[in-house]
Structure 1
Amino acid sequence: MLKLFFRHKWGPALLILLLAALVFFYNLGDISLWDPDEPRGAVIAHEMLQRGDWIHLSYNGHPVTDNPALVKPPLYYWSIALFSALQGHVDEFSARLPSALAGITTAILVFFLGARIFGTKTGFLGGLIFISNHMLFEQARSAEIDMTLTFLITAALFLFYHCYHEHYRPGWLYPAYAALGLAVLAKGPVGVIVPLMIAFLYLLARRDLKAIGKIKLPAGLLIILAVASPWFILEGRAFGAEFFFRQNFERFFHAFDHIQPWYYYFVKLPIHFLPWTLLLPAAVAYWFRRRKEKNPGRTFLLIWFIATFVFFSLSQSKRSLYIVPLYPALSLLVAEALERISSEQNLASLLPWIRGGAAFFALLLVTAGGTAAWLAATRFHDLARPVALLVAAALAGAALLYRMIRKGEGRGIVTAFLVCAFGLELLMAGVVYPSIDVKSRSS
């Protein structure tokens, strides 16, 4: 049955679409917009529709250029306004819908890229890991721009990789450059700098810099300018000076907000990639063992991950959501390691790494359940029902992981991880966040 399922790509792709839609859409509009970033986008989109002006952005009746924190390109505001116009008003659902759709389409791209590089099974697991890590769950359900930016960068890099390994079909490159133009309209120069840097480093690693002449870069830059520049020209010089120089270059080299130390992402990434962080030691052990093996796809993904991580670490201004564009690559790298360790006999010596990660996950679930029960009993009596559900789910997940550890099968443990991860996400969306939302509104 599984062989039949993985024989064609469309079955796994459809299942990823359905699972992503379930996780990202469930209760999407039933939770208030959380400060500070989510309400801003909704208000700007609302005023855009009210005034009928999609060029000059305003917030509370004043131009966004009056407040440097609001000086952002318009793509996300446009997308909120577009979906809101279809239903007649801006609300929590329409404000978050663009991120949810971007999360779903990025998950599908992750699957197809993984299937292209490693095979359908690994692509499928990569898509599931992408959907089920904590950061993507948060960003695909948030009225913020970074999920849309991640989709556009992933689409461009997917098209670049496909074109490069399919005899330089230029027809694949033009939509890639169009995606980069939209990425500039999403978040500015970073939407071009990061993916072009990844592509250049990949060609450098392949010792194929002559390919730069074949990827139609001059034409590509014209496409990027054609897509991105009209709005910046129409919006005016004041926006451009504040946005390009202060919000981008000055923030990168001499940050005036979100100032963090160089090791910031070394701390934040493991937290936000949970629960899959617990299996990263197994993946690292696998990558080290296969370090001499020539695999262009793995090299591409490693460059994507490392270059993005280093680039944003060099910036003085840091936030966890800035590195969301590296999550597609990381998800596929971990998926390849877990799939190979679970299926190849000569890698059986790495299975203890997977069992160890699962044991730690089970311990975390039991600890979290116990802590939640204690808090409900001593401080938050009104949260007894959601906490009871959380405790029951945590204990059930721990029991499932324990059973799979006892069996000792890598695929069984990975499946248990997936069940626990998706179960926790649905519990957060359906019980925990609504309870927190009600409590915060009543306080």
Structure 2
Amino acid sequence: MDREQNRFAERYERLDIAILILACVLAFFALGDRPLRGAEGRWASIIREMLFTGDYFHPTINGEPYFDKPLVTYWLIATLAFISGTLNELVVRLPSAIAGVTSVWATLRLGRQLWSPAVGRIAAMILLTSYGLISQSRLAAADTENLATLMLAILWYWSRRDKFNFTTFLVLYLIVFSGSLCKGPVAAVVTAIGILPDALAGKRWKAFLRPASLCALTIGIALYFVPFIWSSKTNPASYHSSGLALVWQENIQRFFSPFDHKAPMYTYIHSVPLLILPWAPLFIAALIAGVKYFARLDKHAHWLIKVIGLIFIFFTLSGSRRSYYILPIVPFCALLTAVILTRMKEFSSSRIMPTGFNVQKGILFGVAALELVVSLVFLIAPPRSAGVSLVSISIAGILVALAAIAAAIITPRIAHRLVVQPEEKLIFPLAAVAFVVMGGFFCVQRNTLEDYRSEHEFISRIQSATAWIPSDRIALMDKGNIDAKMVFYLDKGSPVTFLRYRDKFTGEQDSDKRAIMSFLQSDQIGALIAQARYVEALPAELSRLLPAAPAFEEKPLPFESKSSRLERWGVWLLNSQNTTPGKGDKTTNEK
């Protein structure tokens, strides 16, 4: 009997390792293939300037202060850049990918500890294939770092809830405040929300008032404030930005009196199902069943449902809302789905979970079949509105769809050999299809789509064309703030010129208009980098100073609308015939 139990234990441990390997595949495969997107440029540009100046306490973009996030995530990227000897898309995204895998591991361990190995594995499989985790794990941002510290803190709490001593509290607070130094105090608040229901139910809250807890809390708070204090004490004369002031503005002020991102209060009603896609049908069914049969559930499931409710209420009450802000709820949603799924037999009189499971099955298999049909149609009879050849993306879609269908056929047989629990046998094929579909999209198809834009080629041409142009004669024109991504890719050793575009210039004395006029009228070699929509909308007295067409520009994507094409970047070279490249000039990386 013991030999049989050991055999099953070893098999389960191998399954845990296999799940973590799959999480690594989704997080790391082709991670650096796509060019930077959106806010990723800010992280990359800040690290580049930190490495160039040697100042790691005063983040800047194009030489201007930019301290809207704490410093630890920047330091993680900078450390990886120092170790690898380079700074590129892969290095910038690596901390997020590592944090994503860490979140999966912590969720697996938490499910195993509070319920069973089956719950841990099912929750981990749901989490690692969820849209929210995959998308954020493959971005240069601080959201998965925030999520990882949250799940590690919750796991540590449950591991030590009956061993409250100084070490327990110290490790807990160090994890919490390290997370707060990645994205902000929201890590501490959500961790407190996660602990609160259990602490109140068992009157364990009193332990947090003990001297051991208060002493450890003091150390944690000191750890949090040290980087900000040092930054303030060592501020250069030209650096007019306070990290603590921006923590207040970006967190406290945003919560009570938001200045942007004012989405409706119902935002998270549809954001949570979106983040847990493709598992939304099964999660919704589990949530309904969990609430309906709340009295039948164990005390740990009670805690879980309360935590999901409190996290949802907290983010909903915040005045500033964006869909990914509520990412911390996703591991708990995955755990609830796993808990209810493993107890389906107890609710045999209800059709809630069977219906949710059948809908989930139909959606996953339907998506694979639909992708195969659509890809075949695009390959055989591509629509004229696409504007470009769809061969490569069609082939990628066909391969992903066929792999998903193959997984659906093969994995039920494998599941009978690998797992014992009937619930795991049910979910295993669905998880395999989800892994192929989601992994195929994020790791293969999205990169294939980027090839149409040829942004790597565009960036390479920018670097080549501007390599010998002085920084102050390279202008980035934009409507809001300077595009940090372009600053990073230009890779200059000093700030480039920023020209601010306005929908309506106030007149000849308008400072922004005069700056654009001055830059364009110069007889020195120069380059204007801007989106086509801004150049086309310039007043006649400015547009006539530019060449009739850009020297080169980004290529369009398939099915791109006319308005989207105007958002493509272009490069207008000025007086390029008057100057030959100098000798000895080098880019930052070459230096």
Note the alpha carbon deviations across 1:207-256, whole angstroms, 9 max, x for none. 55434335944123212222111111122294145313321122111211
Q: Cα–Cα, structure 1 residues 276 and 347, in superposed 2: closer, same or farther, change >3 Å?
A: farther
Q: Cα–Cα, structure 1 residues 218 and 169, in superposed 2: closer, same or farther, change >3 Å?
A: closer
Mapped to 1, the partners of 2:323 and 2:157 lie a distance apart of 26
Q: Cα–Cα, structure 1 residues 384 and 338, in superposed 2: closer, same or farther, change >3 Å?
A: farther
Shift of 1:24: 0.7
Match of 2:92 in 1: 95
Mapped to 1, the partners of 2:355 and 2:65 lie a distance apart of 58
Mapped to 1, the partners of 2:377 and 2:306 lie a distance apart of 45
Match of 1:68 in 2: none
| Structure label with greater radius of gyration | 2
Match of 1:52 in 2: 54
Mapped to 2, the partners of 1:297 and 1:419 lie a distance apart of 28
Moved more, 117-126 or 237-246: 237-246
Q: Cα–Cα, structure 1 residues 240 and 266, in superposed 2: closer, same or farther, change >3 Å?
A: same
Q: Cα–Cα, structure 1 residues 181 and 397, in superposed 2: closer, same or farther, change >3 Å?
A: same
Contact 1:369 1:394 in 2 (8 A): yes
Contact 1:365 1:397 in 2 (8 A): yes
- Out of 180, 186, 190, the position equivalent to 1:190 is 186
- Out of 221, 226, 230, the position equivalent to 2:226 is 230
- Out of 235, 250, 253, the position equivalent to 2:253 is 250
Mapped to 2, the partners of 1:209 and 1:369 lie a distance apart of 54
State how many pairs are aligned: 432
SS where residue 137 of structure 1 aligns? helix
* TM-score, with length taken from structure 2: 0.67
Note the alpha carbon deviations across 1:182-202, whole angstroms, 9 max, x for none. 112112221212212332233
The residue type paired with residue 127 of structure 1 is: A
The residue type paired with residue 342 of structure 2 is: E
Match of 2:129 in 1: 132
Note the alpha carbon deviations across 1:130-178, whole angstroms, 9 max, x for none. 11111111111111100001111111111112221x3435423311100
Note the alpha carbon deviations across 1:263-315, whole angstroms, 9 max, x for none. 10111221221111121243134314541135232233223322222111111
Which ranges in structure 2 are unaligned for 5 or more consecutive residues?
234-240, 413-421, 456-553, 556-591
Moved more, 170-179 or 38-47: 170-179
Mapped to 1, the partners of 2:426 and 2:15 lie a distance apart of 20
Moved more, 83-92 or 346-355: 346-355
Contact 1:148 1:186 in 2 (8 A): yes
- Out of 212, 218, 229, the position equivalent to 2:214 is 218
Contact 1:26 1:426 in 2 (8 A): no
Q: Cα–Cα, structure 1 residues 345 and 327, in superposed 2: closer, same or farther, change >3 Å?
A: closer
Mapped to 2, the partners of 1:323 and 1:215 lie a distance apart of 34
Q: Any residues of structure 2 matched to 1:11-160 within 5 Å, and which?
A: 11-34=14-37, 36-65=38-67, 71-160=68-157
Mapped to 2, the partners of 1:245 and 1:90 lie a distance apart of 31
- Out of 301, 304, 309, the position equivalent to 1:306 is 309
Match of 1:439 in 2: 452
Contact 2:76 2:95 in 1 (8 A): yes
Shift of 1:26: 0.4
Q: Cα–Cα, structure 1 residues 148 and 5, in superposed 2: closer, same or farther, change >3 Å?
A: farther
- Out of 427, 430, 453, the position equivalent to 1:417 is 430
Mapped to 2, the partners of 1:370 and 1:290 lie a distance apart of 41
Which ranges in structure 1 are unaligned for 5 or more consecutive residues?
66-70
Q: Cα–Cα, structure 1 residues 384 and 295, in superposed 2: closer, same or farther, change >3 Å?
A: same
Q: Cα–Cα, structure 1 residues 367 and 189, in superposed 2: closer, same or farther, change >3 Å?
A: same
Mapped to 1, the partners of 2:424 and 2:257 lie a distance apart of 47
Contact 2:127 2:276 in 1 (8 A): no
SS where residue 343 of structure 2 aligns? helix
- Larger relative contact order (Cα-Cα within 8 Å, sequence gap ≥ 6): 1
Moved more, 120-129 or 109-118: 120-129
Note the alpha carbon deviations across 1:91-117, whole angstroms, 9 max, x for none. 011101001111111111111111001
Contact 1:111 1:123 in 2 (8 A): yes
RMSD: 2.8
The residue type paired with residue 201 of structure 1 is: P
Shift of 1:389: 3.3
- Taking only the aligned residue pairs, the percentage that are identical comes to 25
* TM-score, with length taken from structure 1: 0.88
- Out of 379, 383, 388, the position equivalent to 2:390 is 383
